[in-house]
Structure 1
Amino acid sequence: MPRRQGCPREPDSAAPAKRGRGGRVVDSPGRDAVPGLRVHITGSALAGAAYAVAVWQIGGMPPSTCILGGVLCVLAGMLPDLDSGEEDSLRESIGFAAAVVPLLMIHRLQQAGLSLEAIVLAGAGLYLAVRYGVAWLVSKYSVQRGMLHSLPAAAVAGQVAFLSFSTEEPIHRYFVASSVVLGFLVHLILDEIWSVKEGQFGPKFKTSFGTAMKFYGPEAWSNLLSYVLVVALGVLSATDAHWSEKTLPARQYVRQQMEQAARSMPSTPAPWNYRR
């Protein structure tokens, strides 16, 4: 069954669509009708780099955390196009997400007391769940320019990143989650910019204008599901943040005691150092 279309991707005019480089539809010379993957990656990369450098210089965030936030911003800049119906965009975006999510979950799995073998198996399960399970759900039920292109979807992406990434410093979690939201919003803003073209008497808005930066779509069930996810993940995020900040002093104390005990323990000499 063909995928439903939430909004047209072709130019508004009834004339035959002009094809540009790579077969993309263009509505004016030198400009695509919709921003391509390269434009979204470039925009989110610039925004992520600027955000990471600013937080590093002003907020004193560790460089490794800043780099992670920048990379996640680029990844989030590709996520809204999961509903585009293009196999290349879906495969690349899901592939990146499937690889990154298990890595973000490593510390949380360690906090759960799992062994190394269990962490490896859990990571493999998460990869398969995202790579094939999420990909199947998106390809079957998503609508082009549907609720994946919306502000609630940006909030859901940020909340998922917040819950996945666990660290001893709460501010690092907020930075990583906000980086994901930033990349998502950059994608939506670029889509809205591309929905405005030059007309004979000034700017002309295409029918796709307003379908990216929106709070709700035309289908009630997708709107309901989106806001249920926002509320549910919001409650989980708030609960997890409260618990993490409440238990942070105790966890820091335990870690300090373990480090002191490790330093005070005498090192065991190698077998060849024993005297016979």
Structure 2
Amino acid sequence: MANFNTHLNVAALITGVCSASLVAAGHIELDTAVWLWFLGTIGGLLPDIDSDNSTSLDTIFNLFAFAIILIIMRYMTSDDFDDLSFAEVIVVPVLTYAVMKYGLRTIFERLTVHRGSCHTLLFLALCGLATTQLIANVDGIDTDKADRLAWLSGGFVFLGGLVHLMLDEIYSVDLRNIRIKRSFGTALKLVDLDSKLLMLVMMLAVAALWNMTPEVGSTLAMLSDWSMFILF
């Protein structure tokens, strides 16, 4: 199994090359490329959040908690910024972080096992579609580009996660002794049949998210046109 640094660096490399390619083809701006690169790198850590003591779990949950805090604070300050007290500004983020770390994370750790449901293509599809839906509903994005940005965001999360699973499978092959380790086949799989209830819930969530996704035709048309790509 590849370690944290390997997953982080390889995911950053591959998603960085992909985002740079989109810039060179004139499909996206540089700031969008940086955003997609970030999402792809985070996606490269996602499958290991089912490991109770992993660095990936700490990183993902800290980033997730930070994002939730920002959303809550934005909601609180949208209309009544001048009425916020010092206690509200301090207590709300602290309580939110505590709920995330000692509540949601604890529940998540009990429901998952390492190389279980999170090491599946179904989980990556769920994360990618959830990201797509989230970005599609963010206010302030140019409506002409919102659908494409949403799909690209979800796609890069999925791509980063796929890189992670492929790395784990590659590391399951001992090239020095030319043998297959027992862990081979446990990282890259469509679904986790050992957790049938969780698998069913994830499938229903994927189906629901798919029905709510934005129009995809313009994104596919963009990605099929590389006539403006500049290599040098």
Q: How does 1:107-256 map to 2 (within 5 A)?
A: 115=79, 117=81, 124=93, 130-165=100-135, 166=138, 167=141, 168=143, 169=145, 170-198=147-175, 200=177, 203-217=178-192, 218-236=194-212, 238=213, 241=214
Given the superposition, is the C-alpha separation of residues 131 and 150 from structure 1 closer, same or farther in structure 2, using an over 3 Å criterion?
A: same
Mapped to 1, the partners of 2:185 and 2:158 lie a distance apart of: 19
Instruction: List runs of 5+ in structure 1 lacking aligned partners.
Output: 1-33, 246-276
Decide which structure has greater strand share: 1
C-alpha RMSD of the superposition: 3.0
The TM-score, its normalising length taken from structure 2, stands at 0.74
Higher RCO (CA < 8 A, seq sep 6+): 2
* Alignment deviations for residues 196-242 of structure 1 (CA, whole Å, 9 cap, x no partner): 11365xx3222211112111222322221221221122223x2xx15
2:28 counterpart SS class:
coil
Identity %: 26
* Alignment deviations for residues 86-107 of structure 1 (CA, whole Å, 9 cap, x no partner): 154322221123334666x69x
Mapped to 2, the partners of 1:135 and 1:224 lie a distance apart of: 21
Instruction: List runs of 5+ in structure 2 lacking aligned partners.
Output: 219-232
Match of 1:21 in 2: none
| 1:85 shift after superposition | 2.4
Contact 1:147/1:226, CA 8 A, preserved across alignment: no
Given the superposition, is the C-alpha separation of residues 129 and 161 from structure 1 closer, same or farther in structure 2, using an over 3 Å criterion?
A: farther
The TM-score, its normalising length taken from structure 1, stands at 0.63
Mapped to 2, the partners of 1:232 and 1:58 lie a distance apart of: 33
Q: Give the AA of the match of 2:190.
A: F
Match of 2:8 in 1: 41
Decide which structure has greater helix share: 2
Contact 1:75/1:96, CA 8 A, preserved across alignment: no
